[in-house]
A and B are shown apart, each in its own frame.
Chain A
Amino acid sequence: MILAIHNLCTAFPGPNGLILAANQVNLQLRSGVTLGLLGESGSGKSITCRSIVGLVPKPGEILNGEIEFEGRSLRRLDSQGWRKVRGSKIGMIFQDPMSALNPTHKIGNQIAEVLTTKLGIPRRKAVTEAIALLTKVGIASPSRHFHSYPHELSGGMRQRVLIACAIAAKPRLLIADEPTTALDVTVQAQILRLLIDLKVEIDMAMILISHDFGVVAQYCDEVAVMYAGCVVEYGSVVDIFENPLHPYTKALLRSIPKLTGHEDRGLLPIKGQPPDLGQLPTGCPFAPRCDRAGSACSNVDMSLSGANDAHLSACPF
């Protein structure tokens, strides 16, 4: 196990008490594996990942739980401890490539900065390596673009630069928070392909956050489906897509429009609204929208269980 999360609870103060953005999250990740974190907006995917690297936006904070990375606890690391983990061991790619680069620094220098500070490479050599990294992430004429500023690049190129920053110090784990959401569909596939290639080359584990079933199905080995801050189902890609256990996963799969369906069935949306995290029902948060819900659902504790350890669901029914 490269990463193990036990009972992670991350909360934000809300008008009526605490809002649990991540609620008793349990995840395991073996090295070299790509885990897809799937869920709609507000389901706690980003907060879970930000909790891993200790960058929960204020005033949110981790209330409870344990995060182990390579056997060492990441919780209550001091700033010096974090400095050794972030960048060097865990790379992070944020959602919006438009704003995750410093607008006033040359992109080459932003990559070189990682090399000089994290790997102690002298400045001149770092410049050469930064140009090599630009080549590696597929930036054309890298020595010229070394001197470009972020506003001179397209969204796809900026995301490539951010990827170069994240992998510059060859981390063991790469967390990509919806890396393609802000990009054109044609660019999305290129960026994801690049991430997978780099993952194999550097031999990293990867967490790929997405709300796109297609992306997860194509690029991930394992999937964790999140709903209202909870992991509701966990399993291999094949298990999740061929044999979904949790009603939410099933409903999600049903809602995907198909071009090749035999019958003209129209769209099958999940009824109701995404839940208000401040006013969750007791028990299973999906119960109000679930077509199989019964009175026992308010006693469900959302812990994962299943016939085998490789495929777990939070729904006991």
Chain B
Amino acid sequence: MFSYIVRRIIQSIPVLLLVTLGAFAVIILVPGDPAQHMLGYNATPESLRILREQLGLDRPISQQFWEFFQGAVVGDFGESILKKEAVSIVVGERAIVSILLLGYSVFIALFVSLPIATVSALRRNRWPDHLLRFASMITFAMPSFWLGLLLALWFGLHLGWFPVGGYSDSNISSALYTLTLPAITIGLYLAPLLARSLRSSLIEELDRDYVDAARGRGFTETRVIGGHVLRNSLIATVTVLSLNVGYLLSGTVIVENVFAIPGLGTLIVDAVMQRDYPLIQALTLFFGVAVIITNLLADLSYAVLDPRIRLERKR
């Protein structure tokens, strides 16, 4: 198990280096002069020169990359042009909100999809299965801005249970309270995806001999499903989840906008609009690293779920 973890971590190092190179290359690959883009075409040659110097664009590319790499290792990406603050602080503040929102959404998605998938698989092709699949198709097909607005209208305005929008970070419970409706919006998008893959792997798993063997030992159906079948069906679901988490970290722009949540999605849109290159670079690297980490976590959970995946030799 330990050597499996170490091997997986070592395997992700080259990817990490490539991602760093890619994040750095943003500034070179975009056609035209970054300084000109940022300051507009009325900029004086003097101000352009100062900005180029500030961004290090006047130095050779290899030296620029080395400086970027050194900065990236310690988390120093320079100052954001847009926010007039250190990039690391800007990204850090937003990242906490986004990670919290995503974690909350995943929790809701699992909370919804586990029972739905289990009932669907056990009552496959009967009315509870059809009903649940129909219902999850509807929430999946609903665009998130529309679902978000409906939730804000009903639970925010009409019932007044949750705030219509905004984010408060005075403490963790108020942060979670303000994130509830956006988390439900994302969770209801994610839940059908998870439920679908879990339902099909549950059905496959339920047909295996060990299930009837466990029933033959006189275990309760709850124990057979919860203790044996569910765990063995989770691998496909972890895959779907990890792919979506990597995407959703930046893919929640619409939901963030609907609920006025200061997350990473809105930040990257702002940064691109304003050509805030240091910020774009830092965010590109951040998303790359986030995807690597989610994949790493997914790999590790495979190994926890299925001992056959730990290719370690015993003894």
Chain B residue nearest to A87 (CB atoms) is B218
Instruction: Tell me if A41 is interfacial: C-beta within 8 Å of chain B.
Output: no
- Stretch among B23-31, B188-196, B219-227, B264-272 lining the A interface: B219-227
Query: A84 contacts which of B218, B223, B232 (Cβ < 8 Å)?
Result: B218
B-contact 0/1 string along A77-115, CB 8 Å cutoff = 001001111111001101010011111110000000110
Chain B residue nearest to A83 (CB atoms) is B218
List B residues 251-287 near A (Cβ within 8 Å): none
In Å, the complex CA distance between A99 and B314 comes to 22
**Tally of A-B residue pairs with Cβ under 8 A?**
77
Q: A86-B218, A103-B308 are in contact. Are A92 and B223 (CB under 8 A)?
A: no
Instruction: Tell me if A117 is interfacial: C-beta within 8 Å of chain B.
Output: yes
Instruction: Tell me if B58 is interfacial: C-beta within 8 Å of chain A.
Output: no
Q: A103-B308, A104-B305, A151-B308 are in contact. Are A92 and B213 (CB under 8 A)?
A: yes
Q: A103-B232, A149-B307 are in contact. Are A92 and B216 (CB under 8 A)?
A: yes
Instruction: Tell me if A166 is interfacial: C-beta within 8 Å of chain B.
Output: yes
Shortest beta-carbon distance from B198 to chain A in Å: 16
Among A84, A113, A166, which residue has the most Cβ atoms of chain B within 10 A?
A: A113
List A residues 110-127 near B (Cβ within 8 Å): 113-114, 117-118
Instruction: Tell me if B231 is interfacial: C-beta within 8 Å of chain A.
Output: yes
**A104 touching B216, Cβ below 8 Å:** no
B-contact 0/1 string along A22-46, CB 8 Å cutoff = 0000000000000000000000000
In Å, the complex CA distance between A274 and B191 comes to 50
In Å, the complex CA distance between A103 and B208 comes to 11
Query: A99 contacts which of B210, B219, B231 (Cβ < 8 Å)?
Result: B210
Shortest beta-carbon distance from B146 to chain A in Å: 40
In Å, the complex CA distance between A86 and B210 comes to 15
**A100 touching B217, Cβ below 8 Å:** no
Q: Which chain B residues lie closer than 8 Å to A92 at the CB level?
A: 213, 216-217
**B213 touching A103, Cβ below 8 Å:** no
Query: A55 contacts which of B215, B221, B232 (Cβ < 8 Å)?
Result: B215
In Å, the complex CA distance between A125 and B86 comes to 60
Task: Using C-beta atoms within 8 Å of the partner chain, give the interface range for chain A.
Answer: 20 to 34
Among B214, B220, B231, which residue has the most Cβ atoms of chain A within 10 A?
A: B214
Instruction: Tell me if A152 is interfacial: C-beta within 8 Å of chain B.
Output: yes
Q: Which chain B residues lie closer than 8 Å to A101 at the CB level?
A: 210, 213
Instruction: Tell me if B209 is interfacial: C-beta within 8 Å of chain A.
Output: yes
Instruction: Tell me if B306 is interfacial: C-beta within 8 Å of chain A.
Output: yes
Shortest beta-carbon distance from A153 to chain B in Å: 12
**B219 touching A87, Cβ below 8 Å:** yes
Instruction: Tell me if B85 is interfacial: C-beta within 8 Å of chain A.
Output: no
**B218 touching A94, Cβ below 8 Å:** no
Instruction: Tell me if B228 is interfacial: C-beta within 8 Å of chain A.
Output: yes
Query: A96 contacts which of B209, B214, B217, B219 (Cβ < 8 Å)?
Result: B209
List B residues 226-249 near A (Cβ within 8 Å): 227-228, 231-232
Shortest beta-carbon distance from B212 to chain A in Å: 5
**A99 touching B217, Cβ below 8 Å:** no
Q: Which chain B residues lie closer than 8 Å to A84 at the CB level?
A: 218
Q: Which chain B residues lie closer than 8 Å to A87 at the CB level?
A: 216-219
Residue total for B at the interface (Cβ-Cβ under 8 A): 23
Chain A residue nearest to B234 (CB atoms) is A104
Chain A residue nearest to B231 (CB atoms) is A104
Among A102, A165, A166, which residue has the most Cβ atoms of chain B within 10 A?
A: A102
Chain A residue nearest to B217 (CB atoms) is A87
In Å, the complex CA distance between A118 and B223 comes to 12
In Å, the complex CA distance between A189 and B15 comes to 55
**A94 touching B215, Cβ below 8 Å:** no
Q: A87-B219, A117-B223 are in contact. Are A102 and B212 (CB under 8 A)?
A: no
Instruction: Tell me if A53 is interfacial: C-beta within 8 Å of chain B.
Output: yes
Instruction: Tell me if A287 is interfacial: C-beta within 8 Å of chain B.
Output: no
Shortest beta-carbon distance from A300 to chain B in Å: 35
In Å, the complex CA distance between A33 and B308 comes to 41
In Å, the complex CA distance between A165 and B210 comes to 12
**B306 touching A94, Cβ below 8 Å:** no
**A118 touching B210, Cβ below 8 Å:** no
Chain B residue nearest to A50 (CB atoms) is B212
Among B218, B219, B227, which residue has the most Cβ atoms of chain A within 10 A?
A: B218
Q: A99-B208, A101-B210, A149-B307 are in contact. Are A79 and B217 (CB under 8 A)?
A: no
Shortest beta-carbon distance from A16 to chain B in Å: 22
Chain B residue nearest to A114 (CB atoms) is B217
Chain A residue nearest to B227 (CB atoms) is A113
A-contact 0/1 string along B120-161, CB 8 Å cutoff = 000000000000000000000000000000000000000000
**B223 touching A55, Cβ below 8 Å:** no
Q: A104-B305, A118-B217 are in contact. Are A94 and B212 (CB under 8 A)?
A: yes
Among A84, A85, A96, A100, which residue has the most Cβ atoms of chain B within 10 A?
A: A100
Q: A96-B209, A152-B314 are in contact. Are A104 and B232 (CB under 8 A)?
A: yes
A-contact 0/1 string along B179-190, CB 8 Å cutoff = 000000000000
Instruction: Tell me if A162 is interfacial: C-beta within 8 Å of chain B.
Output: yes
Q: Which 6 A-B pairs have the closest CB atoms?
A: A87-B218, A86-B218, A92-B216, A99-B209, A100-B213, A87-B217
Beyond known contacts A82-B218, A92-B213: 19 more, CB 8 A cutoff: A53-B216, A57-B212, A79-B220, A83-B218, A83-B219, A84-B218, A86-B217, A86-B218, A87-B218, A92-B216, A100-B209, A100-B210, A100-B213, A104-B232, A104-B305, A104-B306, A104-B307, A118-B217, A152-B314
Residues of B within 8 A of A (CB): 208-210, 212-221, 223, 227-228, 231-232, 305-308, 314
Residues of A within 8 A of B (CB): 53, 55, 57, 79, 82-88, 91-92, 94, 96, 99-105, 113-114, 117-118, 149, 151-152, 162, 165-166, 169
User: Could you pull out 8 A-B pairs where Cβ atoms are within 8 angstroms?
Assistant: A83-B219, A87-B218, A99-B209, A102-B228, A104-B306, A113-B217, A149-B307, A162-B213
